[in-house]
A and B are shown apart, each in its own frame.
Chain A
Amino acid sequence: MTPPAPRRGEGLVRPYVVTDGRAHPTRNTFDLVTLVIAMHDRPLAGLSPEKVRLMELCLGGPLSVAEIAGHLTLPVSVTKVLLGDLVDSGHLITRAPIPSAELPEAQILQEVLDGLRARL
């Protein structure tokens, strides 16, 4: 079994300092599996160190909100606040999971099933 990624040093800064004390993002659109895509044409100058780290991670390719939090070893709630700011400033766009009310769930489930069976 592969152990979970080792924890980084706790750091000197309490989590909510990096969000200016905010516990909630500016928008409420982030699910754990919302896909996040970085815009390559936005300057990183002027961003906080945490946002620069987040952008450097995301510029490599698409990741989910949960993966970003895991890689940066930040709480999910803090990650969402940072992501909200970066979406507002045009650094990131999101590909939201399809809202469950509109989800053609039978079709999705069949695709999941096909994908899993192909792995046997």
Chain B
Amino acid sequence: MDSALASEGAVYLRQSVQTAVKLLVVGHFAVGKTTFVGSLSEIRPLRTEETMTQAGALVDDLAGIDGKTTTTVAMDFGRVTLSDSLVLYLFGAPGQQRFTRLWQDMTHGALGALVLADTRRLEQSFDVMGLLEEHGLPYAVAVNHFDGAPAFPEEEIREALDLLPETPLITCDARDRVSSTRALIALVEYLRDRRSVQEPV
């Protein structure tokens, strides 16, 4: 990793970058978050880990977990330079990290979230969708295409996920850069339009 830093200038941001924004890519275990982030990122996705201990001052959240005094949470993230002055970070994390400082760090100031879903396990998306709603974070849902997974009409998926009429529902292939980019575009269009409806200029 050190040699990559020394030899690849691309690892660093442009000096002209002024603004960094973040979007979350969330979903249950093995739904394709890291793949999605990796398809879009200009850097090799990085991982940060946080060990929750007493020093983490989150002791209450561990109460009731038998004999468990520490736990490790992780998130993978990537980076997309969008212009000379603007860079986008994509953070991927599962919902069970809800009580951690890392989750708070991730959601703080995030523009919105893309929920990745798998048609074979749609019910597992409720947890993270509820979590985003608790945080007041707007989201779109992207059904990640898995080979051999059943394809359902959009209406059935909407109903199964109990989506609001305005929540965008997209299908994507997290392995494909263009497909993943389109999913993010759908999310950001929604965030922009939603805002202009809320606050007419």
- Residues of A participating in the B interface, judged by any CB pair closer than 8 Å: 1-2, 4-8, 15-16, 21, 23, 31-35, 57, 60-64, 66-67, 69-71, 73, 75-77, 95, 97-98, 100, 105-106, 108-120
A8 and B50 CA atoms in complex are apart in Å by: 15
Residues of chain B in range 42-62 having any CB-CB distance to chain A below 8 Å: 43-51, 55-57
- Chain B residues near A61: list those with CB within 8 A: 9, 11-13, 15
B82 touches A66 (CB 8 A): no
Give chain A nearest CB distance to B154 CB in angstroms. 22
| Complex contact A2–B89 (CB within 8 A) | no
Quick check: A67 and B44 within 8 Å, CB to CB? no
Interfacial chain B residues near A33, Cβ < 8 Å: 20-22, 89, 109
B82 close to A77 (CB less than 8 A): no
Contacts of B86 in A (CB 8 A): 108, 111-112, 115
Which residues of the other chain, A, contact B50 by a CB distance below 8 angstroms? 75-77
Q: B108 at interface (Cβ–Cβ under 8 A)?
A: yes
Find out whether the CB atom of A2 lies under 8 angstroms from the CB atom of B44. Answer: yes
Residues of chain B within 8 A of A108, CB atoms compared: 19, 21, 86, 111
| B interface with A by C-beta (< 8 Å) | 1, 5-6, 9, 11-15, 17-22, 34-35, 38-39, 43-51, 55-57, 76-77, 79-80, 82-83, 86-89, 91, 101-102, 105-106, 108-109, 111, 175, 178, 181-182, 184-185, 188-189, 191-192, 195-196, 199, 201
Q: Is the CB of A32 within 8 A of B106?
A: yes
Report A81 CB to chain B, min CB distance, Å. 11
A69 CA / B11 CA spacing, docked (Å): 14
Q: Pick the residue among A95, A100, A112 that contacts B18 (CB under 8 A).
A: A95
Inter-chain contacts of A35 with B (CB < 8 A): 13, 17, 20
13 contacts between A and B (CB under 8 A): A32-B89, A35-B20, A60-B12, A62-B17, A64-B13, A67-B43, A77-B56, A77-B101, A106-B196, A112-B86, A113-B188, A116-B88, A120-B182
Q: Are A100 and B109 in contact (CB under 8 A)?
A: yes
| Distance between Cα atoms of A115 and B18 in the complex (Å) | 15
Which of B13, B46, B108, B196 meets A4, CB within 8 Å? B46
Residues of A close to B56: CB separation below 8 A: 23, 77
| CB-CB under 8 A for A4 and B15, given A23-B55, A97-B109 | no
- Cβ A63 vs Cβ B13 within 8 A: yes
| A69 to B102 Cα, complex, angstroms | 12
* B177 closest partner in A (C-beta): A119
- Is there contact, CB below 8 Å, between A67 and B106? no
Measured between alpha carbons, how far is A76 from B91 in the docked complex, in Å?
Answer: 14
Please, which residue of chain B has its CB at the minimum distance from the CB of A106? Answer: B195
Contact, CB under 8 Å: A111 / B20: no
